[in-house]
Amino acid sequence: MARILIVDADKDIRGLFSIELSEQGHEVITAGSCHKLGKRIEISRPDLLILDVNLGECDGLDALQEIRRYHAGLPIIICSVYDCCRYDLTAPAADYFVIKSYDLTELKTKINRAVEARESTLHGVAV
């Protein structure tokens, strides 16, 4: 399974996602803000990043652009309650967009796709 970094200001969402994804066998790391996010990525070396847009002191879409500069191959899922973010010009830098919900079916599907695509790329198989 994958090492997943979840960045969301809402501790309840981080907790829910962490429990659900851990039960599926993923290793989950969480952060409540994008403060020193680049350093956190370097240290934890996640296979996948789940990023909220509303992170309080910073905008997740701005953080997304910064992450792409230094971690271009890292699969990123934007998970937000704001559907309008899907159409923001910076959002295409994410691999997937999911509307935040307590039903994690869509998120889990996108995680599986992202992990499969990353593994295929790492092993030299075209997806």
State the residue range of the domain holding 109: 3-122
Helices of type H across the chain: 11-23, 37-44, 60-70, 105-122
73-110 pLDDT per residue, tens: 899 999 988 766 555 555 567 889 999 988 999 999 99
93 within domain boundaries: yes
Domain membership flag for residue 90: yes
How many domains does the chain contain in total?
Answer: 1
94: phi then psi, degrees, rounded to nearest 5:
-85, 155
Tens of pLDDT, residue by residue over 7-18, are 999 999 999 999
Cα distance between residue 26 and residue 3, in whole Å: 6
- The two three-digit tokens of residue 106, written as one number: 């869509």
Specify the pLDDT at position 20: 96
Q: Please report whether residue 28 resides in a domain.
A: yes
Give the mean pLDDT of 31-53. Answer: 92
| Residue 127 domain-assigned (yes or no) | no
| CATH code where residue 47 lies | 3.40.50.2300
Phi, psi (5° rounding) for residue 60? Answer: -60, -35
**CA torsion through residues 103, 105, 108, 110, sign:** negative
